[in-house]
Amino acid sequence: MLDAESPRLARAKLRAEGLYPVEIQSVSSGTATLELEEPLAHGRRFSFPTIPRRVKPHERAALTRQLATLVGAGIPLVGALDTVIGQVRNRSLRRALVEIREEVMAGSSLAEAMGKHGWLFSDLYVNMVHAGESSGALETVLHRLADLMERGVRLRNRIQAALFYPIAMMAIGIVVLVFLLTYVVPIVTRLFAEAKQRLPGPTLLLIGMSDFLVHWWWAILIGVVALLLLGKRLLATPMGRLWWDRTKLRLPLIGSLYEGIVTARFARTLGVLLQGGLPLTSALSIVQHVVNNSFLAKHVEKAIQDVNEGEDLTVSLERSKSFDPMVIQMMAAGERSGTIEEMLIRIAEAYEEEVETKVAALTSLLEPFLILVMGLMVGFIVLSILLPILQMSRLLG
């Protein structure tokens, strides 16, 4: 029982004491009965129905940008979260934000509340928010996080847009070839079989390919699925993942492109973390998981040990030979001048531009190459069909 002039004042008194009522009922004039909601720490809260957790990167980036803008405008954190919740359409994201808002209202920090939703906010995100809250620069940190995520989304979209046409052309070409081999070629070759004449080598090869595809397509499908499952199982092991990550860096043409993407991610993430005020070793521990390459992550882990023992970061990375000499030299210059954060951001920008240039050059080479390959295959099919026809016309002549 609580004495208050109105339910609104009763709710305000309880919130001042750290209690959050679920329902308030007036019993008599000036008196209200209420049902209290236990603090979040006890874990007894209304739980939403299970919803598939699917939040796209651009939605996460937009959320961060909106939150940074609202906090920068002087709106209290709870009010900023309320505003963002009202604009979010993704049900999973809205549910998480509602729970985060309630956590903050219960006395938790924003970083602590976000840390309980690891499927949505990475260690990088949570640690950056924690550093921003500790230093009183939450707005700046949120803007940096938004910049980081937006750049990642833009780079991914540009790569996907550049590769869309070659991949679509390849898919269409495969469909056309399968149609020719499974439908057109059997009809034509049936005529050759009825003629009972000796067929040239290319035609026999084409007939063999067509028969194999028509009668053994299920074996091909099973083989492809088996290889994919086997590859997935091997990549799930530490040794298999390490081998694949190392191999990706050494692939011709694609290897240099992948290395540029990983280097840009490493440099930008480390630079943003250091700008946010995190210690070097803590920042490197986060980058080790964000870099998404176990081969480079091992070298970063070794660098953390070396830095803890008093060695310079660039010396350890140079000894590992896992990064280009230009990256090491620029980082060393940044360490000497005390501007390593800005230097890392410059490295990231340089490699992101290089990746975009390489993708454009690769697609410009890939398109004519695919046209040439498809032309040769279609030409082989046409030639294999025409050769017996020419032989038959000579015999008839």
Q: What local confidence, expressed as pLDDT, does residue 224 receive? A: 92
Q: Which residue, 286, 61, 64, 55, is CA-closest to 153?
A: 61
Tens digit of each residue's pLDDT (9 = 90 or more) over 87-133: 888 888 888 899 998 888 888 889 899 988 888 888 878 888 888 88
Mind giving me the DSSP string for 39-96?
PGGGT----PPP------HHHHHHHHHHHHHHHHTT--HHHHHHHHHHH---HHHHHH
- In the predicted structure, residue 22 carries a pLDDT above the cut 70: no
289-324: b (≥16 Cβ within 10 Å) or e: ebbebbbbbbbbeebbebbeeeeebbebbbebebbe
β-bridge mates for residue 300, sequence order: none
Q: What local confidence, expressed as pLDDT, does residue 192 receive? A: 74
Q: What local confidence, expressed as pLDDT, does residue 19 receive? A: 54
Q: What local confidence, expressed as pLDDT, does residue 10 receive? A: 58
CA distance 220 to 211: 13
Q: What local confidence, expressed as pLDDT, does residue 135 receive? A: 75
- In the predicted structure, residue 51 carries a pLDDT above the cut 80: no
Q: What local confidence, expressed as pLDDT, does residue 5 receive? A: 54
Q: Two tokens at 130?
A: 């924690």
Name which residue leads in pLDDT, 276 or 7.
276
Instruction: Please give the torsion angle defined by the CA atoms of residues 187, 168, 292 and 223, in that order, rounded to the nearest 10 degrees.
Output: -10
* Span 204-228, average pLDDT: 89
* pTM of the predicted structure, to 2 decimals: 0.68
* Span 176-193, average pLDDT: 82
Q: What local confidence, expressed as pLDDT, does residue 383 receive? A: 87
Residue 64 · residue 50 · CB < 8 Å = no
Q: What local confidence, expressed as pLDDT, does residue 30 receive? A: 43
Q: Count the Cβ atoms, other than its own, within 10 Å of residue 105.
A: 16
- In the predicted structure, residue 66 carries a pLDDT above the cut 50: yes
* Span 184-200, average pLDDT: 77
Tens digit of each residue's pLDDT (9 = 90 or more) over 217-247: 889 899 999 999 998 998 889 898 889 988 9
* pLDDT bucket at 43, cuts 50 / 70 / 90: very low
Tens digit of each residue's pLDDT (9 = 90 or more) over 264-299: 888 888 888 888 788 888 888 888 877 888 888 888
Q: What local confidence, expressed as pLDDT, does residue 46 receive? A: 44
Residue 344 · residue 268 · CB < 8 Å = yes
* Span 6-19, average pLDDT: 53
- In the predicted structure, residue 38 carries a pLDDT above the cut 50: no
Q: What local confidence, expressed as pLDDT, does residue 222 receive? A: 94
* Span 135-155, average pLDDT: 84
* Span 339-359, average pLDDT: 88
Q: What local confidence, expressed as pLDDT, does residue 3 receive? A: 62
Q: What local confidence, expressed as pLDDT, does residue 33 receive? A: 44
Q: Which residue, 92, 19, 200, is CA-closest to 100?
A: 92
Which runs of consecutive H residues, i.e. helices, occur in the chain?
7-16, 57-72, 77-87, 91-105, 110-115, 123-135, 138-179, 185-195, 201-215, 217-235, 238-250, 254-275, 280-290, 294-308, 313-320, 325-337, 340-396
Q: Which residue in the block uniquely carries the two structure tokens 């840009």?
A: 264
Q: What local confidence, expressed as pLDDT, does residue 26 receive? A: 57
* Span 13-42, average pLDDT: 48
Tens digit of each residue's pLDDT (9 = 90 or more) over 361-373: 888 888 888 888 8
Q: Average pLDDT, whole number, for the chain?
A: 81
Report DSSP state, residue 181: I
Residue 98 · residue 107 · CB < 8 Å = no
Q: What local confidence, expressed as pLDDT, does residue 165 receive? A: 83
